[in-house]
Structure 1
Amino acid sequence: MTETRMQPNGNPFAGLGLSDPLLRAIREVGFEEPMPVQAEAIPIMLAGRDLIAQAHTGTGKTAAFALPILQRLEPDGTAPQALVLTPTRELAVQVAQTFHRLGKYLDTRVLAVYGGQPIERQLRALRHPVDVVVGTPGRVMDHLRRETLRLDQVRVVILDEADEMLNMGFIEDVEWILERTPRERQTGLFSATIPDRVAELARRYLRDPVRIAIEPERVTAPRTTQVFYEVAPRAKVEALARILDLETPASAIVFCRTKSGVDELAHALQALGYAAEAIHGDMSQVQRDRVMARFRSGQAELLIATDLAARGLDIPIVSHVINYDIPSDPESYVHRIGRTGRAGAPGVAITLVTPRERWMLRTIERAIGQRLQQRTTPTRQQIVQRQRELLGASLIEMIERNDLDWAMRLVDELAAYHDPAVIAAAAVKLLAQQRNLDPERAESLFEEETDQPEPGMTRLILNLGRRDGIRPMDVVGAIANEARIPGKRIGQIEIGERQTTVEIPEELTERVARALSRTRLRGKPVRVETTRTRPAVR
């Protein structure tokens, strides 16, 4: 195995041998100079060599393999010429979007295939010629078994975030896929770390690869309390509301990934009674100025924003920064949480992480050199207790000031008509309303469960999860084979550390539950529970 380590040379992209259509797209995307991993990897891949690149997320590695793949695509192909495997659907979508942007002037046909998206949509797309397929191992295997995806003309295979695919139990799946690609292919392996199992994979499937290692720039996080909550995607709004009620931030910025996400979250929080304002690039300057005026004056306690909208804003010190959507790279994370904990003031940075986003969290932790503290979503009882504590502390502080003469005179007057305890209770309730602290509201706010299955679907909870080696394909296979149900009727699957949830049509609940209870997954018996359902809209 050949190893090279070159220093970043700062050459512009034109010096890397890329075509004019690619250079034009690169200028429009905004790249000015190649990043180190791009400067090293692009010439190697353009030469047709296999490559092992040790590089973290956020170092520009996607463009490092996308650009040479785009350069070498044969025009008017009838089957996929390149396959990119990623550990998660979120990364698959990001990689596919990069191919679309950089291949804009080459009319490149790119398709992302991943679980959680209706397979019928992917089947329709695969009936037409596709140049590049980006997918998760499970869904790629599904298409190969259905014979809806051909790999016989694939000339380049990229394994992106190989160590994360190992951590998520996908290495055997990756090997199964590689065995079905042409032997005379070019293979690129990109990974933040090279554990033994990944190194073994490289020895088996790569031919005399060049190895490069890019040292990530150390990013430092400010001195602030950093925590994360792992939540299901459909429970994020509820989880955020509970966290807000527990933390009671004086002012906070909540970051979302997209402009539409900002609007949706702001409306959801406003409907729950929070003083939230949205700000993003589609708003006029007048609208943005009004929002910022309300936020600075305290009329709005929560500013819901995209990264782009928050840059350059004169935002005062905030007590909390909340990553409603986890950022895709460590630099963005540090930039966001730098909004709190300024000038020596204490700050809190909170990140909501879905199970599929744990790999992004680990990337951030490696880059900043510290682990985030994990907390569990607050219960209603915890919220009620916390708000009572805050009210009690406010009252004790007022009592210790010993400045109650006029208030005592008023109590004396009212005591002629009402019990002093009732007067005190009324005063406490007024204080709670003025400070937006209402234990009664906290106790009733989440009576309606928001994390429910889709209409007409039932959610089954299985007692096995990631720690048991469970993968989506295991669940689909067990249901399809044991209950005799087509895979396309199976809904959303979420695999947690200790349990798995799967949605199925309501009318098949008993049939699937019985079938699963009689089978074993990864050699372990299955216990099944059923959650509440909503009736289908008719």
Structure 2
Amino acid sequence: MTQTFMDLGLTPELIAGLEAMGLEKPTALQTEIIPHILAGRDILAEAPSGSGRTTAYALPILQTLDVETSGAQVLVLVGGSDNAIRAGALFQKLNPHKELRVVSLYAGRSLAREAEQLDETAAIIIGTPPRIREHVNREALSLEHIQYVVIEDIDYLLSRRQQAVIEELFDMMPAGRQTTLFAAKVEETLQDFADEHLFEPVMVQREPVAITVPLINHRYQAIPSGDKEDALIRLLDGENISRALIFASLRPRVENIAFDLNTRGYNSAAIHMGMGPDEREAAVRRWQEGVLSFLVLTDAAGEELMLESPYVISYDVAPDIQTYVARSRLVEENGVHFSLVLGRHRALLNEIETHLGQRIRAVLSPTRASIVAQKAESYKKRIKAIVHREHLEPYMLLLNDLAREGIDWSEIAAAAVILSQKPQETERVFERQRPQQYDQRRYTPGGYRPSSPRPQPRERIYEDREVEEGYVRLVMDAGYDIGVRPKDIVGAIANEANVPGRAVGNIDIRDRFTYIEVQEEYVDRILQRVPSTRLRGRTVTFRKV
């Protein structure tokens, strides 16, 4: 039986924070680590990046943190600035003690400005060992009240000759502190380090498990940081994938991927446990009937499905082998399980390969030219099929009329191709039902609605429309002039104000401003936390209409 976060002994406050983030079930690592930290034990754990390790230590630490104690209580040592930013952001989202602050320290920022943040309310300190030592030496930071120490990628830090710095920091902390070390692999030298600095540590190793892997193909594509959305589209086009199940780790991410796919013309729906059973079943039924080509889902939602798909795509690489196999069981025999893998998650993929007993073959990202050529070839095949199958006489009469007006046949054909690819810009010549098109400017919480044509600047169609019950209209001082997209707006609000993506309703983008409807309960939080932000290289502001 799958364990829930509540089964692990976490408080309702933390459960609510996980719910707001859209995290639906614990990974195998979190299931094992959380009870040990709650019990006060030192830990040495094998946990590569992507296994859910930050959540695994952040939750129990936040639950047992003493809100009455001033100054730094938690020290998290990481290998680089990216890790410090990620860990700090996660602590911020989960932290129920708003009076206790999270501070991230790393190279490339002003030491003086960082020092200003290290006051008595700075309880959770995250940073690289040299940066932490720098602040300690300047007496901007004291470690005398540290109760919890976590070191991510301890094997990497030791290989970078930072053991002396770490031990220097250990000497400044209380002897009774609780320490947790994470490494991609526990080697003998690391075991010796743990024996010296940890008290009777619990060993958490990623032991081989007995698994039955379906007879499918396994592939991965290496993705540059920050390029996942476009990489997914290139994968779909480059591999000619017309039907797939796509897995992501968080509810907001699932919703944003489905939204992005729909705006690009890929009929999709999101499925997660925040939706009602009827709503989930309706999406699955539409997928089975062929109305939808793609389902984007969380692992918890995927556990309930009895489906088979020619392709499964791990947008977020599976955090452990059990999750990887659970996703793979939904692939048809001889189908393909693709994983999109960021560089920092390569160790996680190596571990999956070890359990599978085979190498997962890399697939190169297709070039734009190859995708265009492939689409052109596909388009030619579709035209030939129509020529042999359809009743074309009414259309031929129209085209003959154009030819008699002196227009060259090749020009007529080229114009017809353009018309077929831009149906939203054409007049309806024949009384044929046009398939529904999705317009990225009209996203609603209940799904994707066809939009009206873009109004002229002097029209006030949207302003006069009644706001849906339970929603409030905001205005942002930017629009088409900066090339903003609905997913940019949803992402900025969801990430910076820590609200679920579904809280954002109708979005209407104009030339120089944008109307956004958001659920009433989140309006004050959005205006307080995101009065302004940067989108498309420009600072934009939000206010009530």
TM-score (norm 1): 0.56
Specify the alignment match of 2:456 in structure 1: none
Call closer, same or farther: CA 1:302–1:145 in 2, change over 3 Å: farther
Give 1:380 shift.
0.9
Unmatched segments (≥5 aa) in structure 1: 1-21, 437-447, 455-532
Paired residue for 1:339, among 308, 317, 330?
330
1:235 aligns with 2:227: yes
Is residue 62–residue 98 contact of structure 1 (8 Å, CA) maintained in 2? no
Specify the alignment match of 1:294 in structure 2: 286
Paired residue for 2:237, among 240, 245, 251?
245
Call closer, same or farther: CA 1:323–1:388 in 2, change over 3 Å: same
Matches within 5 A, 1:299-378: 299-314=291-306, 316-340=307-331, 342=332, 344=333, 346-378=334-366
Matches within 5 A, 1:1-20: none
Give 1:92 shift.
2.8
Call closer, same or farther: CA 1:379–1:62 in 2, change over 3 Å: closer
Please tell me the residue identity of whatever aligns with 1:293.
Answer: R
Matches within 5 A, 1:31-50: 46=41
Q: 2:171 aligns to what SS in structure 1?
A: coil
Paired residue for 1:384, among 372, 393, 401?
372
Give 1:230 shift.
2.7
Specify the alignment match of 1:520 in structure 2: none
Q: 1:319 aligns to what SS in structure 2?
A: strand
Specify the alignment match of 1:272 in structure 2: 264
Q: 1:92 aligns to what SS in structure 2?
A: helix
1:179 aligns with 2:168: yes
Output the CA distance in 2 between the equivalents of 1:70 and 1:308. 25
Output the CA distance in 1 between the equivalents of 2:137 and 2:211. 44
- How many residue pairs were aligned? 406
Output the CA distance in 2 between the equivalents of 1:319 and 1:394. 22
Deviations 1:238-259, CA, capped at 9 Å, x for gaps: 2211211112223112222222
Specify the alignment match of 2:187 in structure 1: 195
Specify the alignment match of 1:3 in structure 2: none
Is residue 320–residue 347 contact of structure 1 (8 Å, CA) maintained in 2? yes
Is residue 218–residue 336 contact of structure 2 (8 Å, CA) maintained in 1? yes
Please tell me the residue identity of whatever aligns with 1:326.
Answer: V
Output the CA distance in 1 between the equivalents of 2:91 and 2:166. 19
Q: 1:229 aligns to what SS in structure 2?
A: strand
Output the CA distance in 1 between the equivalents of 2:84 and 2:299. 22
Please tell me the residue identity of whatever aligns with 2:11.
Answer: A
Specify the alignment match of 1:92 in structure 2: 87
Matches within 5 A, 1:158-177: 158-165=150-157, 171-173=160-162, 175-177=164-166
TM-score (norm 2): 0.56
Is residue 37–residue 59 contact of structure 1 (8 Å, CA) maintained in 2? no
Matches within 5 A, 1:401-412: none
Give 1:381 shift.
0.9
Deviations 1:34-63, CA, capped at 9 Å, x for gaps: 9996699669955xxx65455778999879
Output the CA distance in 2 between the equivalents of 1:283 and 1:24. 23
Is residue 303–residue 326 contact of structure 2 (8 Å, CA) maintained in 1? no
Q: What is the root-mean-square deviation of aligned Cα atoms in Å?
A: 5.5
Call closer, same or farther: CA 1:333–1:89 in 2, change over 3 Å: farther
Q: 1:179 aligns to what SS in structure 2?
A: helix
Call closer, same or farther: CA 1:201–1:332 in 2, change over 3 Å: same
Q: 1:244 aligns to what SS in structure 2?
A: helix
Specify the alignment match of 2:11 in structure 1: 25
Please tell me the residue identity of whatever aligns with 1:339.
Answer: L
Is residue 111–residue 132 contact of structure 1 (8 Å, CA) maintained in 2? yes
Give 1:236 shift.
2.0
Output the CA distance in 1 between the equivalents of 2:241 and 2:337. 11
Matches within 5 A, 1:93-132: 96=91, 109=100, 111=102, 113=104, 126-132=118-124
